[in-house]
Chain A
Protein backbone atom coordinates (compact mmCIF):
# COMPACT_ATOMS: atom_id res chain seq x y z
CA UNK A 1 0.00 0.00 0.00
CA UNK A 2 1.96 2.96 -1.32
CA UNK A 3 0.84 6.22 0.27
CA UNK A 4 0.85 9.09 -2.26
CA UNK A 5 1.73 12.69 -1.45
CA UNK A 6 -0.85 14.93 0.24
CA UNK A 7 -2.56 12.08 2.10
CA UNK A 8 -0.47 12.42 5.24
CA UNK A 9 -0.51 15.60 7.31
CA UNK A 10 2.72 17.62 7.32
CA UNK A 11 3.80 16.64 10.87
CA UNK A 12 3.27 12.95 10.03
CA UNK A 13 5.18 12.81 6.73
CA UNK A 14 7.93 15.09 8.03
CA UNK A 15 8.40 13.02 11.20
CA UNK A 16 8.45 9.76 9.24
CA UNK A 17 10.94 11.17 6.70
CA UNK A 18 13.18 12.26 9.58
CA UNK A 19 12.88 8.79 11.16
CA UNK A 20 13.43 6.84 7.93
CA UNK A 21 16.47 8.75 6.62
CA UNK A 22 18.93 7.83 9.42
CA UNK A 23 17.62 4.26 9.46
CA UNK A 24 18.38 3.85 5.74
CA UNK A 25 21.79 5.53 6.13
CA UNK A 26 22.66 3.20 9.02
CA UNK A 27 21.59 0.13 7.01
CA UNK A 28 23.66 1.28 4.03
CA UNK A 29 26.75 1.96 6.15
CA UNK A 30 26.50 -1.42 7.82
CA UNK A 31 26.19 -3.20 4.47
CA UNK A 32 28.99 -1.11 2.92
CA UNK A 33 31.36 -1.95 5.79
CA UNK A 34 30.59 -5.64 5.37
CA UNK A 35 31.27 -5.43 1.63
CA UNK A 36 34.57 -3.61 2.17
CA UNK A 37 35.65 -6.31 4.63
CA UNK A 38 34.72 -9.14 2.25
CA UNK A 39 35.06 -7.83 -1.35
CA UNK A 40 34.95 -11.36 -2.82
CA UNK A 41 31.61 -12.06 -1.15
CA UNK A 42 30.21 -8.66 -2.15
CA UNK A 43 26.47 -8.73 -2.44
CA UNK A 44 26.11 -5.50 -4.39
CA UNK A 45 25.16 -7.03 -7.77
CA UNK A 46 22.97 -9.56 -5.98
CA UNK A 47 21.05 -6.80 -4.16
CA UNK A 48 20.43 -4.81 -7.34
CA UNK A 49 19.50 -7.81 -9.47
CA UNK A 50 17.21 -9.14 -6.71
CA UNK A 51 15.42 -5.79 -6.73
CA UNK A 52 14.87 -6.13 -10.47
CA UNK A 53 13.85 -9.76 -9.90
CA UNK A 54 11.11 -8.76 -7.41
CA UNK A 55 9.89 -6.09 -9.83
CA UNK A 56 9.65 -8.66 -12.62
CA UNK A 57 8.15 -11.31 -10.31
CA UNK A 58 5.38 -8.86 -9.41
CA UNK A 59 4.27 -9.07 -13.04
CA UNK A 60 3.42 -12.77 -12.66
CA UNK A 61 -0.22 -13.22 -11.65
CA UNK A 62 -1.29 -16.06 -9.37
CA UNK A 63 -4.88 -17.29 -9.70
CA UNK A 64 -6.49 -17.02 -6.24
CA UNK A 65 -10.17 -17.47 -6.97
CA UNK A 66 -12.82 -17.18 -9.61
CA UNK A 67 -11.76 -14.38 -11.92
CA UNK A 68 -9.27 -12.86 -9.47
CA UNK A 69 -5.54 -12.99 -9.20
CA UNK A 70 -2.85 -11.75 -6.84
CA UNK A 71 0.83 -11.06 -7.16
CA UNK A 72 3.92 -11.30 -5.01
CA UNK A 73 4.82 -8.27 -2.86
CA UNK A 74 8.25 -9.68 -2.10
CA UNK A 75 9.45 -8.22 1.22
CA UNK A 76 9.47 -11.56 3.03
CA UNK A 77 10.89 -13.40 0.03
CA UNK A 78 13.81 -10.95 -0.08
CA UNK A 79 14.32 -11.25 3.69
CA UNK A 80 14.46 -15.06 3.37
CA UNK A 81 16.84 -14.85 0.40
CA UNK A 82 19.14 -12.03 1.53
CA UNK A 83 18.57 -11.43 5.26
CA UNK A 84 16.55 -8.57 6.77
CA UNK A 85 19.07 -5.70 6.50
CA UNK A 86 19.87 -6.29 2.83
CA UNK A 87 16.18 -6.89 2.08
CA UNK A 88 15.29 -3.55 3.68
CA UNK A 89 17.79 -1.77 1.42
CA UNK A 90 16.51 -3.52 -1.69
CA UNK A 91 12.86 -2.74 -0.84
CA UNK A 92 13.87 0.90 -0.21
CA UNK A 93 15.46 0.97 -3.67
CA UNK A 94 12.30 -0.54 -5.18
CA UNK A 95 10.13 2.09 -3.43
CA UNK A 96 12.31 4.93 -4.75
CA UNK A 97 12.10 3.60 -8.32
CA UNK A 98 8.33 3.08 -7.97
CA UNK A 99 7.85 6.65 -6.67
CA UNK A 100 10.02 8.26 -9.35
CA UNK A 101 9.45 6.14 -12.40
CA UNK A 102 5.96 4.71 -11.94
CA UNK A 103 4.43 7.42 -9.71
CA UNK A 104 3.44 4.68 -7.26
CA UNK A 105 3.78 6.34 -3.85
CA UNK A 106 4.72 9.93 -3.04
CA UNK A 107 8.09 11.65 -2.79
CA UNK A 108 7.30 13.40 0.49
CA UNK A 109 5.58 10.22 1.72
CA UNK A 110 8.68 8.17 0.89
CA UNK A 111 9.75 8.07 4.54
CA UNK A 112 6.38 6.66 5.56
CA UNK A 113 6.43 4.06 2.78
CA UNK A 114 10.04 3.07 3.59
CA UNK A 115 9.26 2.63 7.28
CA UNK A 116 6.00 0.75 6.61
CA UNK A 117 7.23 -1.60 3.92
CA UNK A 118 11.03 -1.61 3.74
CA UNK A 119 11.95 -1.54 7.42
CA UNK A 120 9.09 -2.59 9.70
CA UNK A 121 7.32 -4.65 7.02
CA UNK A 122 10.48 -6.59 6.20
CA UNK A 123 11.32 -7.09 9.90
CA UNK A 124 7.78 -8.33 10.60
CA UNK A 125 8.15 -10.71 7.65
CA UNK A 126 11.53 -11.98 8.77
CA UNK A 127 10.75 -12.48 12.49
CA UNK A 128 8.50 -15.60 12.18
CA UNK A 129 10.94 -17.13 9.68
CA UNK A 130 13.92 -16.42 11.96
CA UNK A 131 12.14 -18.05 14.89
CA UNK A 132 11.21 -21.20 12.97
CA UNK A 133 13.89 -21.56 10.29
CA UNK A 134 15.85 -24.27 12.08
CA UNK A 135 12.77 -26.30 13.00
CA UNK A 136 10.43 -28.51 11.00
CA UNK A 137 7.93 -25.62 10.96
CA UNK A 138 10.15 -23.54 8.67
CA UNK A 139 7.49 -23.47 5.94
CA UNK A 140 4.92 -22.15 8.44
CA UNK A 141 7.47 -19.50 9.41
CA UNK A 142 7.73 -18.34 5.79
CA UNK A 143 3.95 -18.31 5.43
CA UNK A 144 3.50 -16.39 8.70
CA UNK A 145 6.24 -14.00 7.56
CA UNK A 146 4.37 -13.20 4.34
CA UNK A 147 1.15 -12.62 6.28
CA UNK A 148 2.80 -10.48 9.00
CA UNK A 149 4.73 -8.39 6.48
CA UNK A 150 1.66 -7.34 4.50
CA UNK A 151 -0.52 -6.85 7.58
CA UNK A 152 2.13 -4.76 9.35
CA UNK A 153 2.56 -2.47 6.34
CA UNK A 154 -1.21 -2.12 5.88
CA UNK A 155 -1.97 -1.49 9.55
CA UNK A 156 0.82 1.11 9.79
CA UNK A 157 -0.41 2.86 6.64
CA UNK A 158 -3.99 2.94 7.95
CA UNK A 159 -2.74 4.21 11.30
CA UNK A 160 -0.75 7.01 9.67
CA UNK A 161 -3.71 7.97 7.50
CA UNK A 162 -5.91 7.94 10.61
CA UNK A 163 -3.50 10.19 12.52
CA UNK A 164 -3.49 12.50 9.48
CA UNK A 165 -7.24 12.90 9.78
CA UNK A 166 -8.45 10.47 7.10
CA UNK A 167 -10.99 8.61 9.16
CA UNK A 168 -12.76 5.67 7.60
CA UNK A 169 -16.33 4.71 8.45
CA UNK A 170 -16.44 1.43 10.40
CA UNK A 171 -17.92 -0.65 7.54
CA UNK A 172 -15.21 0.63 5.15
CA UNK A 173 -12.54 -0.11 7.75
CA UNK A 174 -13.88 -3.64 8.20
CA UNK A 175 -13.98 -4.28 4.45
CA UNK A 176 -10.45 -2.85 4.09
CA UNK A 177 -9.17 -5.05 6.93
CA UNK A 178 -10.70 -8.13 5.30
CA UNK A 179 -9.19 -7.13 1.97
CA UNK A 180 -5.75 -6.70 3.56
CA UNK A 181 -6.07 -10.00 5.41
CA UNK A 182 -6.91 -11.74 2.12
CA UNK A 183 -3.90 -10.09 0.47
CA UNK A 184 -1.71 -11.08 3.43
CA UNK A 185 -2.80 -14.73 3.20
CA UNK A 186 -2.17 -14.70 -0.55
CA UNK A 187 1.30 -13.20 0.01
CA UNK A 188 2.08 -15.94 2.55
CA UNK A 189 0.97 -18.68 0.15
CA UNK A 190 2.84 -17.18 -2.82
CA UNK A 191 6.05 -16.70 -0.77
CA UNK A 192 5.98 -20.34 0.39
CA UNK A 193 5.27 -21.54 -3.13
CA UNK A 194 8.09 -19.46 -4.65
CA UNK A 195 10.65 -20.46 -1.98
CA UNK A 196 9.75 -24.12 -2.57
CA UNK A 197 10.03 -23.63 -6.33
CA UNK A 198 13.46 -22.00 -5.95
CA UNK A 199 14.66 -24.78 -3.64
CA UNK A 200 13.36 -27.45 -6.04
CA UNK A 201 15.21 -25.79 -8.89
CA UNK A 202 18.47 -25.18 -7.08
CA UNK A 203 18.29 -28.37 -5.00
CA UNK A 204 19.28 -26.73 -1.73
CA UNK A 205 17.80 -24.41 0.88
CA UNK A 206 17.85 -20.88 -0.47
CA UNK A 207 21.28 -19.25 -0.06
CA UNK A 208 21.88 -21.83 2.67
CA UNK A 209 25.50 -20.92 3.29
CA UNK A 210 24.83 -17.26 3.90
CA UNK A 211 21.85 -18.00 6.11
CA UNK A 212 23.89 -20.48 8.15
CA UNK A 213 26.57 -17.83 8.65
CA UNK A 214 23.96 -15.40 9.78
CA UNK A 215 22.31 -17.88 12.09
CA UNK A 216 25.57 -18.41 13.98
CA UNK A 217 25.68 -14.69 14.68
CA UNK A 218 22.05 -14.10 15.40
CA UNK A 219 20.96 -17.19 17.32
CA UNK A 220 19.12 -16.16 20.45
CA UNK A 221 18.50 -12.53 19.39
CA UNK A 222 14.73 -13.00 18.93
CA UNK A 223 14.57 -14.72 22.33
CA UNK A 224 16.42 -11.81 23.98
CA UNK A 225 14.11 -9.30 22.27
CA UNK A 226 11.04 -11.24 23.41
CA UNK A 227 12.45 -11.43 26.94
CA UNK A 228 13.04 -7.65 27.07
CA UNK A 229 9.55 -7.00 25.68
CA UNK A 230 8.00 -9.31 28.30
CA UNK A 231 9.92 -7.60 31.11
CA UNK A 232 8.88 -4.15 29.91
CA UNK A 233 5.25 -5.27 29.68
CA UNK A 234 5.33 -6.81 33.13
CA UNK A 235 6.97 -3.80 34.80
CA UNK A 236 5.76 -0.74 32.84
CA UNK A 237 2.64 -2.23 31.25
CA UNK A 238 0.85 -2.23 34.61
CA UNK A 239 0.79 1.57 34.45
CA UNK A 240 -1.48 1.50 31.44
CA UNK A 241 -3.34 -1.73 32.25
CA UNK A 242 -7.10 -1.44 32.74
CA UNK A 243 -8.40 -1.58 36.30
CA UNK A 244 -11.70 -3.05 35.14
CA UNK A 245 -12.45 -6.74 35.74
CA UNK A 246 -11.81 -9.22 32.93
CA UNK A 247 -14.64 -10.67 30.86
CA UNK A 248 -15.35 -13.65 33.12
CA UNK A 249 -15.29 -11.56 36.32
CA UNK A 250 -17.54 -8.98 34.66
CA UNK A 251 -20.03 -11.70 33.70
CA UNK A 252 -19.97 -13.15 37.23
CA UNK A 253 -20.60 -9.68 38.70
CA UNK A 254 -23.38 -8.97 36.20
CA UNK A 255 -25.15 -12.25 36.85
CA UNK A 256 -24.77 -11.78 40.61
CA UNK A 257 -23.05 -15.12 41.09
CA UNK A 258 -21.47 -15.41 44.51
CA UNK A 259 -18.57 -17.77 44.75
CA UNK A 260 -18.59 -19.46 48.10
CA UNK A 261 -16.03 -22.10 47.22
CA UNK A 262 -13.43 -22.27 49.98
CA UNK A 263 -9.89 -21.70 48.67
CA UNK A 264 -7.37 -24.42 49.36
CA UNK A 265 -4.28 -22.42 48.46
CA UNK A 266 -3.76 -18.70 48.87
CA UNK A 267 -1.85 -16.94 46.08
CA UNK A 268 1.40 -15.16 47.00
CA UNK A 269 0.43 -12.38 44.53
CA UNK A 270 -3.36 -11.88 44.82
CA UNK A 271 -4.68 -9.45 42.15
CA UNK A 272 -1.14 -9.17 40.75
CA UNK A 273 0.17 -7.37 43.84
CA UNK A 274 2.47 -8.08 46.75
CA UNK A 275 0.06 -7.66 49.69
CA UNK A 276 2.67 -6.28 52.10
CA UNK A 277 3.59 -3.42 49.68
CA UNK A 278 0.06 -2.16 49.12
CA UNK A 279 -1.22 -1.43 45.62
CA UNK A 280 1.55 0.89 44.42
CA UNK A 281 3.21 0.55 40.99
CA UNK A 282 6.31 -1.02 42.65
CA UNK A 283 4.12 -3.71 44.17
CA UNK A 284 2.39 -4.50 40.85
CA UNK A 285 5.60 -4.37 38.80
CA UNK A 286 7.49 -6.61 41.24
CA UNK A 287 4.62 -9.10 41.26
CA UNK A 288 4.60 -9.05 37.45
CA UNK A 289 8.36 -9.61 37.18
CA UNK A 290 8.27 -12.34 39.82
CA UNK A 291 5.48 -14.08 37.89
CA UNK A 292 7.51 -13.77 34.69
CA UNK A 293 10.58 -15.34 36.30
CA UNK A 294 8.51 -18.21 37.74
CA UNK A 295 6.87 -18.91 34.35
CA UNK A 296 10.27 -18.77 32.60
CA UNK A 297 11.79 -21.15 35.14
CA UNK A 298 8.90 -23.62 34.80
CA UNK A 299 9.05 -23.50 30.98
CA UNK A 300 12.85 -23.83 30.87
CA UNK A 301 12.79 -26.77 33.30
CA UNK A 302 9.99 -28.56 31.41
CA UNK A 303 11.80 -27.93 28.11
CA UNK A 304 15.00 -29.50 29.43
CA UNK A 305 13.14 -32.46 30.88
CA UNK A 306 11.29 -33.02 27.58
CA UNK A 307 14.53 -32.75 25.58
CA UNK A 308 16.25 -35.24 27.90
CA UNK A 309 13.31 -37.64 27.60
CA UNK A 310 13.46 -37.40 23.78
CA UNK A 311 17.20 -38.13 23.69
CA UNK A 312 16.88 -41.27 25.83
Chain B
Protein backbone atom coordinates (compact mmCIF):
# COMPACT_ATOMS: atom_id res chain seq x y z
CA UNK B 1 0.00 0.00 0.00
CA UNK B 2 1.38 3.41 -0.97
CA UNK B 3 0.97 4.80 2.57
CA UNK B 4 3.83 2.57 3.73
CA UNK B 5 6.21 4.97 1.92
CA UNK B 6 4.83 7.92 3.89
CA UNK B 7 5.11 5.89 7.11
CA UNK B 8 8.77 5.17 6.37
CA UNK B 9 9.46 8.85 5.62
CA UNK B 10 7.72 9.87 8.84
CA UNK B 11 10.26 7.86 10.89
CA UNK B 12 13.32 9.64 9.44
CA UNK B 13 15.50 12.02 11.43
CA UNK B 14 15.58 15.73 10.65
CA UNK B 15 14.93 19.09 12.26
CA UNK B 16 11.36 19.15 10.89
CA UNK B 17 10.74 15.57 12.08
CA UNK B 18 11.92 16.42 15.57
CA UNK B 19 9.53 19.36 15.99
CA UNK B 20 6.45 18.93 18.16
CA UNK B 21 3.54 17.67 16.04
CA UNK B 22 1.19 20.21 17.66
CA UNK B 23 3.29 23.03 16.18
CA UNK B 24 3.26 21.35 12.75
CA UNK B 25 -0.50 20.83 12.92
CA UNK B 26 -1.11 24.51 13.76
CA UNK B 27 1.18 25.57 10.92
CA UNK B 28 -0.60 23.26 8.46
CA UNK B 29 -4.01 24.68 9.37
CA UNK B 30 -2.66 28.25 9.20
CA UNK B 31 -1.20 27.58 5.75
CA UNK B 32 -4.44 26.00 4.50
CA UNK B 33 -6.57 28.87 5.83
CA UNK B 34 -4.18 31.40 4.35
CA UNK B 35 -4.40 29.68 0.96
CA UNK B 36 -8.16 29.18 1.08
CA UNK B 37 -8.93 32.79 1.97
CA UNK B 38 -6.91 34.29 -0.89
CA UNK B 39 -9.19 35.85 -3.47
CA UNK B 40 -6.47 36.71 -5.98
CA UNK B 41 -4.11 33.95 -6.95
CA UNK B 42 -1.63 34.22 -9.78
CA UNK B 43 1.59 32.46 -10.79
CA UNK B 44 3.48 34.63 -8.27
CA UNK B 45 1.42 33.37 -5.35
CA UNK B 46 1.69 29.79 -6.57
CA UNK B 47 5.49 30.00 -6.81
CA UNK B 48 5.73 31.64 -3.36
CA UNK B 49 3.68 28.91 -1.66
CA UNK B 50 5.31 26.11 -3.64
CA UNK B 51 8.79 27.41 -2.73
CA UNK B 52 7.84 27.50 0.95
CA UNK B 53 6.71 23.85 0.84
CA UNK B 54 9.84 22.84 -1.09
CA UNK B 55 12.06 24.46 1.53
CA UNK B 56 10.23 22.54 4.27
CA UNK B 57 10.65 19.24 2.40
CA UNK B 58 14.38 19.97 1.89
CA UNK B 59 14.77 20.80 5.60
CA UNK B 60 13.03 17.50 6.35
CA UNK B 61 15.48 15.65 4.06
CA UNK B 62 12.60 14.15 2.10
CA UNK B 63 12.93 13.05 -1.56
CA UNK B 64 11.53 16.22 -3.13
CA UNK B 65 10.66 14.77 -6.55
CA UNK B 66 8.79 11.85 -5.02
CA UNK B 67 6.92 14.17 -2.65
CA UNK B 68 5.88 16.38 -5.59
CA UNK B 69 4.76 13.29 -7.53
CA UNK B 70 2.92 11.90 -4.50
CA UNK B 71 0.87 15.10 -4.22
CA UNK B 72 -0.49 14.50 -7.74
CA UNK B 73 -2.97 11.97 -6.25
CA UNK B 74 -5.31 14.89 -5.58
CA UNK B 75 -5.52 15.75 -9.26
CA UNK B 76 -8.20 13.32 -10.55
CA UNK B 77 -10.98 14.87 -8.44
CA UNK B 78 -9.64 18.39 -8.86
CA UNK B 79 -9.28 17.79 -12.60
CA UNK B 80 -12.92 16.74 -12.94
CA UNK B 81 -14.21 19.94 -11.37
CA UNK B 82 -11.54 21.99 -13.11
CA UNK B 83 -12.83 20.60 -16.41
CA UNK B 84 -16.41 21.47 -15.42
CA UNK B 85 -15.37 25.05 -14.63
CA UNK B 86 -13.43 25.24 -17.88
CA UNK B 87 -16.58 24.05 -19.71
CA UNK B 88 -18.54 26.76 -17.91
CA UNK B 89 -16.24 29.38 -19.40
CA UNK B 90 -14.07 29.94 -16.31
CA UNK B 91 -10.64 28.57 -17.31
CA UNK B 92 -8.78 30.95 -14.97
CA UNK B 93 -10.85 29.85 -11.97
CA UNK B 94 -10.25 26.22 -12.96
CA UNK B 95 -6.49 26.79 -12.90
CA UNK B 96 -6.70 28.52 -9.51
CA UNK B 97 -8.66 25.60 -8.03
CA UNK B 98 -6.20 23.07 -9.44
CA UNK B 99 -3.19 25.02 -8.14
CA UNK B 100 -4.59 25.67 -4.68
CA UNK B 101 -5.83 22.09 -4.36
CA UNK B 102 -2.42 20.74 -5.33
CA UNK B 103 -0.65 23.00 -2.80
CA UNK B 104 -3.08 21.95 -0.04
CA UNK B 105 -2.47 18.27 -0.84
CA UNK B 106 1.28 18.84 -0.82
CA UNK B 107 1.10 20.56 2.60
CA UNK B 108 -0.89 17.66 4.10
CA UNK B 109 1.62 15.16 2.68
CA UNK B 110 4.46 17.11 4.29
CA UNK B 111 2.78 16.84 7.69
CA UNK B 112 2.16 13.09 7.31
CA UNK B 113 5.67 12.51 5.91
CA UNK B 114 7.28 14.25 8.89
CA UNK B 115 5.01 12.99 11.73
CA UNK B 116 3.85 9.41 12.41
CA UNK B 117 0.05 9.12 12.52
CA UNK B 118 -0.03 8.26 16.26
CA UNK B 119 1.82 11.53 16.96
CA UNK B 120 -0.70 13.45 14.82
CA UNK B 121 -3.53 11.81 16.77
CA UNK B 122 -1.93 12.72 20.10
CA UNK B 123 -1.72 16.32 18.88
CA UNK B 124 -5.35 16.20 17.72
CA UNK B 125 -6.31 14.88 21.15
CA UNK B 126 -4.46 17.80 22.73
CA UNK B 127 -6.66 20.09 20.60
CA UNK B 128 -9.75 18.41 22.12
CA UNK B 129 -10.57 15.80 19.51
CA UNK B 130 -12.77 13.36 21.50
CA UNK B 131 -10.82 10.46 23.08
CA UNK B 132 -13.23 7.89 21.68
CA UNK B 133 -12.75 9.14 18.12
CA UNK B 134 -8.96 9.11 18.58
CA UNK B 135 -9.12 5.53 19.86
CA UNK B 136 -11.34 4.42 16.97
CA UNK B 137 -8.86 5.95 14.49
CA UNK B 138 -5.96 4.21 16.27
CA UNK B 139 -7.62 0.79 16.12
CA UNK B 140 -8.74 1.46 12.53
CA UNK B 141 -5.19 2.37 11.57
CA UNK B 142 -3.77 -0.63 13.46
CA UNK B 143 -5.97 -3.12 11.58
CA UNK B 144 -6.29 -1.31 8.25
CA UNK B 145 -3.20 -2.91 6.79
CA UNK B 146 -3.90 -6.32 8.38
CA UNK B 147 -7.35 -6.52 6.77
CA UNK B 148 -6.18 -5.02 3.48
CA UNK B 149 -3.53 -7.74 3.26
CA UNK B 150 -6.22 -10.35 3.93
CA UNK B 151 -8.26 -8.98 1.01
CA UNK B 152 -5.22 -9.15 -1.27
CA UNK B 153 -4.50 -12.74 -0.21
CA UNK B 154 -8.15 -13.76 -0.65
CA UNK B 155 -8.23 -12.17 -4.10
CA UNK B 156 -5.08 -14.02 -5.15
CA UNK B 157 -6.53 -17.28 -3.80
CA UNK B 158 -9.79 -16.73 -5.71
CA UNK B 159 -7.93 -15.92 -8.91
CA UNK B 160 -5.69 -18.95 -8.56
CA UNK B 161 -8.78 -21.16 -8.22
CA UNK B 162 -10.72 -19.58 -11.08
CA UNK B 163 -8.05 -18.50 -13.54
CA UNK B 164 -6.70 -15.01 -14.01
CA UNK B 165 -9.93 -12.99 -13.96
CA UNK B 166 -9.39 -9.42 -12.87
CA UNK B 167 -12.61 -9.10 -10.86
CA UNK B 168 -14.72 -11.59 -8.97
CA UNK B 169 -18.41 -12.21 -9.68
CA UNK B 170 -21.01 -10.23 -7.71
CA UNK B 171 -21.89 -13.09 -5.35
CA UNK B 172 -18.25 -14.12 -4.93
CA UNK B 173 -17.28 -10.55 -4.07
CA UNK B 174 -20.11 -10.40 -1.49
CA UNK B 175 -18.92 -13.70 -0.05
CA UNK B 176 -15.39 -12.36 0.21
CA UNK B 177 -16.60 -9.30 2.13
CA UNK B 178 -18.75 -11.54 4.36
CA UNK B 179 -15.72 -13.66 5.23
CA UNK B 180 -13.75 -10.50 5.87
CA UNK B 181 -16.52 -9.25 8.18
CA UNK B 182 -16.56 -12.51 10.08
CA UNK B 183 -12.80 -12.40 10.63
CA UNK B 184 -12.94 -8.71 11.60
CA UNK B 185 -15.73 -9.37 14.08
CA UNK B 186 -13.81 -12.21 15.71
CA UNK B 187 -10.71 -10.02 15.81
CA UNK B 188 -12.70 -7.26 17.54
CA UNK B 189 -13.90 -9.73 20.18
CA UNK B 190 -10.34 -10.91 20.80
CA UNK B 191 -9.12 -7.30 21.13
CA UNK B 192 -11.95 -6.61 23.58
CA UNK B 193 -11.04 -9.67 25.65
CA UNK B 194 -7.38 -8.62 25.69
CA UNK B 195 -8.34 -5.12 26.83
CA UNK B 196 -10.51 -6.51 29.62
CA UNK B 197 -7.72 -8.89 30.62
CA UNK B 198 -5.41 -5.89 30.96
CA UNK B 199 -8.05 -4.41 33.23
CA UNK B 200 -8.51 -1.18 31.31
CA UNK B 201 -10.89 0.21 28.76
CA UNK B 202 -8.30 2.11 26.72
CA UNK B 203 -6.64 0.73 23.64
CA UNK B 204 -3.50 2.76 22.94
CA UNK B 205 -3.80 6.08 24.70
CA UNK B 206 -1.05 5.85 27.26
CA UNK B 207 1.56 8.37 26.24
CA UNK B 208 0.90 12.07 26.49
CA UNK B 209 2.62 14.47 24.06
CA UNK B 210 6.02 15.54 25.30
CA UNK B 211 6.53 19.03 26.70
CA UNK B 212 6.47 21.91 24.23
CA UNK B 213 10.10 23.04 24.02
CA UNK B 214 11.52 26.47 23.25
CA UNK B 215 12.60 25.47 19.74
CA UNK B 216 9.06 24.19 19.00
CA UNK B 217 7.68 27.52 20.14
CA UNK B 218 10.28 29.41 18.07
CA UNK B 219 9.59 27.28 14.99
CA UNK B 220 5.85 27.83 15.42
CA UNK B 221 6.22 31.60 15.71
CA UNK B 222 8.66 31.76 12.78
CA UNK B 223 6.40 29.57 10.62
CA UNK B 224 3.34 31.68 11.40
CA UNK B 225 5.34 34.80 10.61
CA UNK B 226 6.40 33.41 7.22
CA UNK B 227 2.84 32.39 6.36
CA UNK B 228 1.49 35.79 7.42
CA UNK B 229 4.24 37.56 5.49
CA UNK B 230 3.44 35.63 2.35
CA UNK B 231 -0.23 36.32 2.95
CA UNK B 232 -0.10 40.06 3.52
CA UNK B 233 3.17 41.31 2.04
CA UNK B 234 3.60 39.26 -1.09
CA UNK B 235 -0.01 38.43 -1.93
CA UNK B 236 -1.74 41.47 -0.50
CA UNK B 237 -4.75 41.19 1.81
CA UNK B 238 -7.89 39.33 0.73
CA UNK B 239 -10.51 41.50 -0.92
Contacts and interface: CB of A to CB of B under 8 A. Distances in A.
Interface of A: 2, 4-7, 10, 13, 24-25, 28-29, 31-32, 35-36, 39-40, 42, 44-53, 55-57, 59-63, 69, 72, 81, 89-90, 92-94, 96-97, 99-103, 106-108, 161, 166-169, 172, 189-190, 193-194, 196-198, 200-202
**Of A35, A39, A51, A190, most B-chain CB atoms within 10 Å:** A51
A235 to B, nearest CB: 38
Contacts of A42: 192, 195, 201
Q: Which 4 A-B pairs have the closest CB atoms?
A: A48-B139, A197-B178, A28-B130, A51-B140
B207 interface: no
B147 A193 contact: no
Contacts of A99: 108
User: What does DSSP make chain B's interface, helix, strand, loop or mixed?
Assistant: helix
Contacts of A48: 135-140, 142-143, 188, 191, 203
Contact of A194 (B32, B100, B151, B174): B174
15 contacts: A6-B101, A29-B130, A32-B130, A39-B201, A52-B140, A52-B184, A59-B152, A100-B117, A101-B141, A108-B36, A172-B87, A193-B173, A197-B175, A198-B181, A201-B179
Contacts of A62: 167-168, 170, 173-174
Interface of B: 3, 6, 28-29, 32-33, 35-37, 71, 73-74, 77-78, 81, 84-85, 87-88, 97, 100-101, 104-105, 108-109, 111-112, 117, 120, 130-133, 135-144, 146-148, 150-152, 155, 167-171, 173-182, 184-185, 187-189, 191-192, 195-196, 201, 203
B104 A46 contact: no
A24 B140 contact: no
A63 B32 CA distance: 39
Contacts of B111: 100
Contacts of A51: 136-137, 139-140, 144
B174 A49 contact: no
Of the candidates B3, B6, B74, B138, the one having the most CB atoms from chain A within 10 angstroms of its own CB is B74
Contacts of A31: 132
B181 to A, nearest CB: 5
A118 B138 CA distance: 18
B28 A25 contact: no
A197 to B, nearest CB: 3
